[in-house]
Structure 1
C-alpha cells in the first residue's frame, strides 16, 4: 500500500538562515542509516524530506531505521501520487479501504495541506470534497473533526503524499550540527545513555573505554563494543578508543591511600581523555555521572576530579535518578547489554571504603608521590581503536 516515507523535521524549523546546512546533515544521516538497502532515494521537496524505495518489502525496516535518526520529529508511511484531483481522491479511497480492513473505524477527518498554490482547489474545499467521496462509499462512518478514529493527511507539493499515521521518532538535532565530544564509555548503564542524550543534541561523539587487562576480561571489551554498535544506530559511525590504565592503578595502590583510589584514578582518566580529545579536534568530554549515585559522584568528588583538567565536561544525567536512567536505557536498547556481569576497570580496583568528601589539597599531596606525566604517557602508549 505505502510506497514512500515522509519525514517531518523537528527543531530544524527554528534555524533560520542555517536551516539548509541542518537539512543537508539530516539527509546524509538518513542515507547512512539506510546504506544497506539498495536503490533507496532520499530527497527534499517543499521543506520536507522523503524516502523512496522500489523494494516495498523493505519498508518496515526502513521505517524502523529512520525513526532512530536524530533531527526527525515524526515519520509517515505514505502513498505518493500525482497532483491530479481525481487521482488523489481515488488513492485516498484506496487507503481508507485498506485502513477499514485493519481496524474498526467509526469516524474520520480529512486534512489537506496545499504547499503548491497552483493546485486549483483550496485546502478546506478539497478536504470537504474528499470527505464527501468517502462518506458516499463507506456509509457506516461519519466525520468527526475533533476526535476522529482516523485522520487522513493529504500533502500537496510537487507531488501529492497521502498518509494516515505519524510515527513518533527520536527528535533532537542532526548529528554533526552541534560540535564534537568524547564520551567516557564504561560497560555500565549510565554512560551509553549519556552519549545518546548528547548526540541527540546534534553532537558528533567518539568514545573512550578504559580497561585494566588482564584484570578485566576480553568479554568486558566485547560488551563495550556491543554498546557502541547499539549507539551507532542513533549516533552514526564513531571511533571507540581503548586505553589500558593498569600501570596507573598499580602506582596508586603502591604509593597512595586505598580510600583515595577511585578519585585519583578518575583524575588520571580525565587527563588522558582530555589529551585524546585535543588531538582529535573534540571540544568537550561526556560522562554518565548522576549526582550522589556513587562515592565519586558526590558534589565534592566531582569538583576534585574535574580540577585535574581544563576541558568542559557535559553531564546530561547529573540530575536524574537511577530509575529514570534505566528507563531510557531500555528504550534505546542498551540495558540488557549494560547489565551483563563483566567487571570494568573501576569495579576491579574499587576500595572497600571510598572517600565521599575528598579534599583537593589532600588528593594533590597524594598525586605528588606519583609521576603523573609519565603515567599518563605510559597509559597513552597503549591506545588502540577498537
Structure 2
C-alpha cells in the first residue's frame, strides 16, 4: 500500500491564540522524538500550523504506531502526494480507491482548493473527479450525505494530497505544555491510567511509589518499574521516585487507632509526595482515586486525606468505575502488568473495618500525638527516596540513579 505522506491535525492547541506557537513547538519536539526510529521520515511544517510527515520509504505502519503516542495530535491521514495537475490528480484518486480494503458501494469527493489559481473551480472538480471514478468502478454510486468512503483531494500550490482515512490520535495538549505533576503510582490498574490522562492534558509527570520492603518483594518493585516504562512510551522518559515506607507503616500500626490507619497512611504519603514535588518543581499531585471504590476513596476520606497537601490534587478517574477504567488500561498497555499478583504497601496492615467517614479533627488530634516521630519519619523517607530515570523498552541496568 503506497503512502507518501501523513497529514497531521491538532485539536485544542489550535485555539491557543498568541500562545499557539509555544504549543506547536512542543508538539514538534514530541513528533520528532517518536519518529527517531524512522530516520528517513521527515516532519514538514507550513504556515497556519499545518504539518505533515514525509515517509521517504519508511513503514507507514510503524509511523502510525509512533504517532498514536503523541499527545495533542487529534488525528492523522495517510495520503498519496502528487503534483497539482488534473491528470496526475485523476491517477491519484483511482490509486486511492484501488487501495481500499474492499470496493465500497457509495462514495463522494471532497475537494479543498488552497491553490486558487488551479484551472478548475471546486464544484467543477467534484463533478470531474467523481465522474472519473465512476467510469472505472462498476456499480459505484455517489452519496454526498452518508458515503462509505469520503475521498479527500487537497490541492496546494506545489503539491496535491489524496486520502480517505482519518486515524484518531490521543488528542489533548502537547506533553509538558501545562507544567509538571507528581503521580502517586501504585501497582494497581487505576493510577497508570490516571497518569496517562494527566499527560494527555499536557502535564509532564514524575511517578512516586511507596514500598514496604521486606513486606513487599522485589517483584512488586519491578512491577512498578515496568508500569513506569509503559507510561514512558508516551513521554520518552519518566522519573520514578521509590519511597521507603516500612517504618511509617509499622509505627502507625503501633501508635494510632486501627480504623484510621489507612487515612493516616495516605496523609503521610501526600506529605511526602508534596515535599518531593517541591524539589522537582511540580505544581500538582495526581492520583488514581475513584469515588467510592475503596474505603479510603469515600468523599469523606478523600476530603480528610487531601487536606494534608497544599498542592492541587488532580483525580482524573474520580467519577469512573472499573468497567470504564479497565478498557483504558488495556488500550494504553498497562493492564497486563497491573494485574500481576505482586503485593504493594497499600495492601499491608489493612484493618478489618477501616473508617469511611473520618473526622478531620480526630485525625489531626491523632497526628498531634505522633508529633514526636511522624514529621522526622516523613523527612527521612524523603531523604532515603531513590530516583530512577526510566525509558521505554530499556530492560538493562542503565537506568540512571539519582
TM-score bracket relative to the smaller structure: over 0.9
**C-alpha separation in 2, matches of 1:309 and 1:196:** 22
Q: Deviations over 1:36-85 (max 9, x none)?
A: 222221122343221122233x2102102212211112111111222223
The equivalent of 2:232 in structure 1 is 232
Contact 1:197 1:316 in 2 (8 A): yes
The residue correspondences of 1:270-309 to structure 2 (distance < 5 A) are 270-309=270-309
The equivalent of 1:343 in structure 2 is 343
**C-alpha separation in 1, matches of 2:106 and 2:256:** 73
Q: CA deviation at 1:117?
A: 2.7
The equivalent of 1:54 in structure 2 is 56
The equivalent of 2:393 in structure 1 is none
**Are 2:74 and 1:73 aligned?**
yes
Q: Deviations over 1:189-233 (max 9, x none)?
A: 111111111211111111111111111111111111221122223
The equivalent of 1:365 in structure 2 is 365
Unaligned ranges ≥5, structure 1: none
Q: CA deviation at 1:103?
A: 0.3
Q: CA deviation at 1:142?
A: 2.2
Partner of 2:238: helix, strand, or coil?
Answer: coil
Q: CA deviation at 1:7?
A: 1.1
Q: CA deviation at 1:349?
A: 2.5
Q: CA deviation at 1:236?
A: 3.8
Aligned length: 383
**C-alpha separation in 2, matches of 1:359 and 1:145:** 63
The equivalent of 2:15 in structure 1 is 14
Give the TM-score, by structure 2 length. Answer: 0.91
Partner of 2:150: helix, strand, or coil?
Answer: strand
Contact 1:227 1:337 in 2 (8 A): yes
47-56 or 303-312: bigger deviation: 47-56
Q: CA deviation at 1:360?
A: 1.8
**C-alpha separation in 2, matches of 1:144 and 1:308:** 60
**C-alpha separation in 2, matches of 1:367 and 1:240:** 28
Unaligned ranges ≥5, structure 2: 389-402
**C-alpha separation in 1, matches of 2:67 and 2:11:** 14
CA RMSD after TM alignment = 1.6
Q: CA deviation at 1:248?
A: 0.7
The residue correspondences of 1:1-386 to structure 2 (distance < 5 A) are 1-46=2-47, 47-56=49-58, 58-99=59-100, 102-157=101-156, 158-370=158-370, 371-386=373-388
Q: CA deviation at 1:185?
A: 0.6
**C-alpha separation in 2, matches of 1:240 and 1:338:** 16
Q: CA deviation at 1:145?
A: 1.1
Q: CA deviation at 1:267?
A: 0.8
Contact 1:2 1:77 in 2 (8 A): yes
Contact 2:229 2:238 in 1 (8 A): no
